[in-house]
Structure 1
């Protein structure tokens, strides 16, 4: 039409408002989804979990419109509550509000146009509106970042409601006004098609009175929307939505056109007569009096009103009681409402400035492509639009992605190609390769760290299976017995979706009683979750930051996302407190009958029986992990006269702790393991006899050194190979007994651990120096070896050994109720701001002479006259400042697996 304006001069194109609304809904979802909106949808019960993605992506129109209306109402109620607090210190403002409400009573009793006009004409009402607008401006600009962000939600939903209202009332001016407000958001969130065509549409429609006056009069009178039923007021809908609900809907068959024919002629006829078939179906329904329209709108039905009100109350309660109220004075930083996670500076900047970014992009587009002469036009209308690519809270949930092969991991703007690059630089500078390989040659030790900077993991359960392999299963367990249960393991097994917290407590107690059905004493031990913990990295790996946070647990509240609930450590702490208090109540105590229940909750322990609930000071402990505290409870049960103690835990750490402390506990210990249908009891006494006390005493140190929850494993080196070395070498047994005996790692012990590491990487290393072994392995492969296949250098291995020693020392304090544990800082960990992080190395990642040539500082494209990489025949890496450079290595798309020397596959996966 733009190419041949005279040919199509009588045609006026319009954008379909139904599909435009769907785009706006997807913008709302993209901006607010992971800021807490998704969790609010589900946990409030307004949207089912299976439908929430369609709602937030704008694919489920009716549900999305309804939810955003309800959420808008809930936020407005919170705004109103804050308004009442805002005016508390001003009696004059309070009196004004009171008088306005008194003037609203006639309208409340008789809702009609006349009463409404009287209210609007009231001078006090005008002052009240002005005062309330001041309060809204305060929330937008002065209350804090969180309030400002969620005020933008109210603003965008108002645009959505205005678009809907404009279509329903046939209000042309309101329609154009809403379109103008929507355009910047399309630019901000990269809806490029609507960002391109809505400005042109707005321009054409704004000049329609001059170009096509008859069409303007028609649209201005409401002709841009359709009234399907004559008896339904406020029921007009957009034209494209009308097509969807009439012709497209009536002519649908199961399977579409494929459902009746594949012949081109039949398909052509199918589409040509579609509108007539739809018309005939409508006339048939009218004749049969089916689907007759009624005068009452769906939203005005009493059942719908009651349901909507209940849902709004649920949304308000979720924000006020359980999560974060965005207009509460306590929270001013930009955080996710459900998880409490803080936005990064980049995310915060993009979210708070999104509208400004969109307005500037819209202004630039309009000036360059719509409002200038063709002679001076800087860009063509259809030229590619640059995307804003604004960050949202979703960025916090993204996994770090790496190249497919383990040898090409990208980490901290540096890749594994750096290893080879450093070798090339070292050779060009004529450095001794033996000296170069004393450094990790990377920002992290690749043999210990994964590409996102976290600990390498190994399958630690293989160690427990190997130890249990030749141990005969226990058939008869002597009674009476005590049963010690890992409480958090039961919580993880519990399926609690759609259950209230009261029902969760009840179900959990039933599971505990079933687990200890043959024991007269049952101990339930829960973990303690501290802010600064060496297990923080492992909890983050398991997704702790993705879990929604409940600030307050109420018995009657129903949990809809149990998996997300138990991901958050703060929720687990609140849950253990809650169930402990619940189980003290009479209705739960009656379930115990003659059994005695001990509950270790945080640093306290409570003894609950059918008659009473009392604290047990002997079992109060400051131990953090349930693994070590279980041993404390086993010893207490043995001292209390129980000759048999059953430990119900699948954790390898617990099994090894039982083996290590068997000599100190005067009772028969059995570890319950296996599946639900095949339960197996392993006698710790029998296991100790099979393996011998020397090996059992050394297993804790070996387990910590070869990888556990808080200490990294060695890439490609599993636990079975290490176990074979310990089993065959008595010196290694004695060495691992010493690991954890003192908080400080001695040089003598480190030298022995270094020798053990050399034997892990080579059956005949010929040296006990890992730096020397790195050089020998590199030369043996003629340089065709990756950093991940080499042992860590001595610097990185020393810090790794300190971490293993620290963890083993904690384990060896298991029988102490209040062990004095020093800070981990300086013992393999360090502080990064407020966070406890792993201290991978003390020295430089590479020799200074290598680092000097490692990257170029080219601001644009690299040129041989200026670029240090090109001058030295090197490829640019991600450490170089150049962004778009032809001197970068090609990315590899192939995928490979790393196999442990034991035959076990490494659990880490790398995706391109």
Structure 2
């Protein structure tokens, strides 16, 4: 069978399914010619189409018309045409939408295949398998692809080579039936597993002491029909018969109720994680993680078709599948290519290979200059997500230093309150059936009754910024549908789903701002992240009156410690009162600054950003309090912090200062680099650990730390309040993509090429010729090699000793 040649294009369709009519295509063409073009279809005609479809449905349920007449309806043809145009438009607007449309097409193919098997429809069976071929090829199911293609070619020739078999298959005998019902066809492989193999393993079967010799197997198999007749006669004699009813189990009320419940669960999930939103990014709707630029699974059908085309003219034995030609999924974490193939990097496997390949300490230290992972694990949670910062830990560390000494002044009445508009949105639940104006009124009453004529500062969501990744993480991948609403419209969406859309959020904040202004509150809108603007307004208010900044964000506490003036009125930072047993902290910023001292307050922006904030990574295994401790103890650490405050610092200066600061954080010495420190830590942990060394417990490489330092510098400059001529994100550790800004991880590959393409030989000679696969690929033999073991051949650093050599 496998000697067939892929030397022709498969037919587009193997035939018309048995339940179709010749008149259907003519009727569809006539309906398509008769219907008006899109620009002539008015809203009224659209409503008329839906009304017409409903009437047809009623007639079908009542038995007034047949299913064939429904299929020939012009109304359904028009609706189908409009739906198809909408699907094509959706696929062009978003790659995520295109992926899900493709997924639905795959489900339709599966349903087509199941229907063909259950009803014995031969033409539909072949068509479904042909439709599967591109997806099988694109997904790497190579044996299925080859076998199914040869199968389709042989079935195409069946009509001329074995017409009697073709006729029986068209009559539905390519499937096996255990009853005469329409929906009772079973695939032969399924029957073999559930009937023949089951009988073989049950009482009386071959596995029950009879033996598995050829004679026993033949005797047992040929006696099966006779045994079946005896079994049927015994059932008739005893009156014990097995009969099946006409009702399918899927038609029971319990099954329908459960299916409907599951359907609602899926719909509810898809409403919160809408794959058909206007967001152009290519993402995982469950986690919100954006795909790498190499991912092309949304065009898997085209990828598979190209693979099938390349098979033409070759036998199955001649054709070789290449991994680089297959579709790249979101689960493929690495973008490494070795000899043109896509390589997924497994950290455990790399570490095991490292032990084999590294024959001396120099090789081991050189290999550890790479991350040995598809992303820097000490800085990233995944291929694109920064390690989430534990920001409250810094506030706890500061409170531990100065908390008992801060004057316990209560916030006096008459203070000016400054509020974070983003946090304000989360304070009030949205009532069902309320209008948007009513909800804005609820917020206004909450603010005026509790805080008086407050100053409210809102974030901006109209443009992308480096904090978009944090917003994406917080929303957990949820993207709500865009809603064009007015003040008098009733809210029909859940609050979380509505605010998960940036356009909805920006429009609602504008409406809320107008209502607050009518209540004599001051409102301000930042172009992006509002943290700096909030602090600036609080500091400005403190020049004329005692001011309270309400909130819980550690970023705001850090910014207040940096920007607040000791010559102004009292400035407090207070947590929102909540129903908890823990007493909320009240920070007197002036007293806090005095107790921390001018040096720490001057450098607190760097101390916060270097160990993780919303736009920088948390260093694995290092707490936020470590930066405060190192700043007090290390002169070298304090010197590096100065570089991050220079307005005109170069990227090289920042990268060098950042690496030295991180070496101190990892308890290194002034002579260490991050790469050398990785080597020493690896050796220490291998010698003392009882399990394998995880990559994230090692310091990051110098290549990855460089971009982390650039992002820290950018954030410090933004917090300082640099003007518009300040650093641009694309020059300081970020790159601009369709979905916004994403962090640059490193410029080095995940591992040395020697580890990624490790090769072993099994030479019987001394590995001196190109017959040795290691020597052929310019790689030295290693202990993984078969005979030489990497030590007794000419292709290794450990040359064999002659007997005459003196051994010292």
Q: With the length of structure 2 as denominator, give the TM-score of the two structures.
A: 0.56
- Report deviation, 1:679: 4.9
Aligned partner of 2:531 among 627, 645, 650: 627
1:688 and 2:593 correspond: yes
- Secondary structure of the equivalent of 1:669? strand
Distance 1:158 1:746 in 2: 53
1:508-523 matches, within 5 Å, as: 510=442, 514=446, 517-523=449-455
How many residues matched?
Answer: 646
8 Å CA contact 1:739–1:808 kept in 2: the answer is yes
Q: Aligned pair in 2 of structure 1 residues 194, 832: CA closer, same or farther (>3 Å)?
A: closer
Question: Do structure 1's residue 546 and structure 2's residue 477 form an aligned pair?
Answer: yes
Q: Distance in 2 between matches of 1:462 and 1:740?
A: 23
- Tell me: CA distance 1:133–1:538, structure 2 relative to 1, closer, same or farther (3 Å): closer
Unmatched 5+ stretches in structure 1: 1-79, 228-235, 241-271, 287-292, 369-377, 379-385, 402-408, 584-598, 600-605, 877-912
Task: Kindly indicate whether the alpha-carbon contact (under 8 Å) linking 1:449 and 1:456 is maintained by their aligned counterparts in 2.
Answer: yes
Mapped pair 1:471 → 2:376: no
- 1:866 match: 776
| Cα distance change on mapping 1:185 and 1:647 into 2, 3 Å | same
Deviation, structure 1 residue 520: 0.4
**What is the 5 A alignment of 1:104-143?**
none
Please state if 1:461 is matched with 2:392: yes
Matched ranges for 1:618-697 at <5 A: 619=524, 621-622=526-527, 624-638=528-542, 642-649=545-552, 651-663=553-565, 666-672=569-575, 676-677=579-580, 678-683=582-587, 684-697=589-602
The question of 1:574 aligning with 2:508 is answered no
What CA distance in whole angstroms lies between the structure 2 residues aligned with 1:159 and 1:839? 40
- SS of aligned partner of 2:422: helix
Could you say if the C-alpha distance between residues 507 and 82 of structure 1 is closer, same or farther in structure 2, counting changes exceeding 3 Å? farther
Q: 1:808: which partner in 2?
A: 716
Q: Take 2:749 and 2:56, find their aligned partners in 1: how far apart are those partners?
A: 78
User: Are 2:760 and 1:826 aligned?
Assistant: no
Deviation sequence 1:532-579 (CA, Å, 0-9, x none): 533345456x276933352335455643694x765x5xx134223125
Determine the C-alpha separation between the residues in 2 that align with 1:729 and 1:455: 27
> Would the aligned equivalents of 2:411 and 2:572 in 1 still touch at CA under 8 Å?
no
Q: What is the CA-CA distance between 1:349 and the residue it aligns to?
A: 3.4
User: Partners of 1:800 and 1:114 in 2: how far apart?
Assistant: 71
Residues 369-399 of structure 1: CA distance to partner in whole angstroms, max 9, x if unpaired? xxxxxxxxx9xxxxxxx99999899x43788
Deviation of 1:479 (Å): 1.5
The answer for the alignment partner of 2:298 in structure 1 is 348
Q: 1:740 matched to which residue of 2?
A: 645
Whether contact under 8 Å (1:457, 1:713) holds in the other structure is: yes
Q: CA deviation at 1:185?
A: 5.3
**CA contact under 8 A between 2:570 and 2:590: conserved in structure 1?**
no
The 8 Å contact of residues 644 and 667 in structure 1, kept in 2 or not, is answered as yes
Q: Is the 8 A contact 2:281 2:290 kept in 1?
A: no
- TM-score, normalising length from structure 1? 0.51
Contact 1:725 1:732 in 2 (8 A): yes
2:180 and 2:685 mapped to 1: Cα distance?
72
Of residues 690-699 and 211-220 in structure 1, the stretch that sits farther from structure 2 once superposed is 211-220
Alignment of structure 1 residues 695-844 onto 2, 5 Å: 695-728=600-633, 736=641, 739-745=644-650, 756-762=661-667, 765=669, 767=670, 769-771=671-673, 775=676, 778=679, 797=705, 799-813=707-721, 820-830=725-735, 836-839=741-744
Residues 478-524 of structure 1: CA distance to partner in whole angstroms, max 9, x if unpaired?
1123433333345567777xx87966886687478557753103444
Give the structure 2 partner of residue 373 of structure 1: none
The equivalent residue for 2:798 is none
Equivalent-residue separation in structure 2 for 1:819 and 1:182 (angstroms) = 59
Encode CA deviations 1:253-291: one digit per residue, 9 max, x unaligned: xxxxxxxxxxxxxxxxxxx9xx99xx99xx9xx9xxxxx
Structure 2 residue 127 is the aligned partner of structure 1 residue 181: yes
CA distance in 2, matches of 1:117, 1:459: 62
After superposition, residues 42-191 of structure 1 pair within 5 angstroms as 86=37, 88=39, 175-184=121-130, 188=135
Aligned to 2:15: none
Q: State the SS of the aligned residue for 1:559.
A: coil
> Cα–Cα, structure 1 residues 862 and 614, in superposed 2: closer, same or farther, change >3 Å?
farther
Q: Distance in 2 between matches of 1:332 and 1:831?
A: 14
SS of the residue corresponding to residue 649 of structure 2 reads coil
> Residues 387-466 of structure 1 correspond to what in structure 2 (within 5 A)?
395-396=329-330, 410=345, 415=350, 424=359, 427=362, 447-448=378-379, 452=383, 454-466=385-397
Asked whether the equivalents of residues 638 and 667 of structure 1 are also in contact (C-alpha less than 8 Å), the reply is yes
Deviations 1:733-757 (A, max 9, x none): 6864663341525988877766544
C-alpha distance in structure 2 between counterparts of 1:423 and 1:388, whole Å: 28
Q: Given that residues 534 and 836 in structure 1 are in contact (C-alpha distance below 8 angstroms), is that contact kept between their aligned partners in structure 2?
A: yes
Partner residue of 1:891?
none
Whole-Å separation in 1 of the counterparts to 2:280 and 2:731: 35
Work out the CA distance in 2 between the residues paired with 1:713 and 1:427: 30
Structure 1 residues 521 and 85: alpha-carbon distance in aligned structure 2, compared to 1, 3 A threshold: farther
Q: Secondary structure at the match of 1:182?
A: helix
**In 2: Cα distance, 1:858 partner to 1:480 partner:** 76
1:740 touches 1:807 (CA, 8 Å); kept in 2? no
Q: Judging changes above 3 Å, is the alpha-carbon distance between structure 1 residues 112 and 480 closer, same or farther for their aligned structure 2 residues?
A: closer
Contact 2:711–2:732 (8 Å) recurs in 1: yes
Please, what is the CA RMSD of the aligned residues? Answer: 7.3
- 3-state secondary structure, aligned to 1:521: coil
The structure-2 alpha-carbon separation of the partners of 1:500 and 1:165, relative to structure 1 and needing over 3 Å to count, comes to farther
Judged with a 3 Å threshold, the aligned counterparts in structure 2 of structure 1 residues 337 and 480 are, in CA distance, closer, same or farther, namely: same
| Rounded Cα–Cα distance in structure 2 between residues aligned with 1:332 and 1:761 | 40
Uncovered stretches (5+) of structure 2, i.e. residues with no partner? 1-30, 187-230, 336-343, 687-692, 762-770, 786-808
- Judge conservation of contact 1:525–1:630 (CA < 8 Å) in 2: yes
Partners of 2:474 and 2:597 in 1: CA distance? 39
Q: Structure 1's 84 and 718: CA in aligned 2 closer, same or farther, altered over 3 A?
A: farther
Distance 1:423 1:557, change over 3 A: farther
Give 1:559's aligned residue.
Answer: 493
Deviation at 1:829, TM superposition (A): 3.7
1:209 Cα deviation after fit: 12
Cross-structure match for 1:485: 419
SS of 1:809's equivalent?
A: helix
Q: Which segment drifts farther, 500-509 or 792-801?
A: 500-509
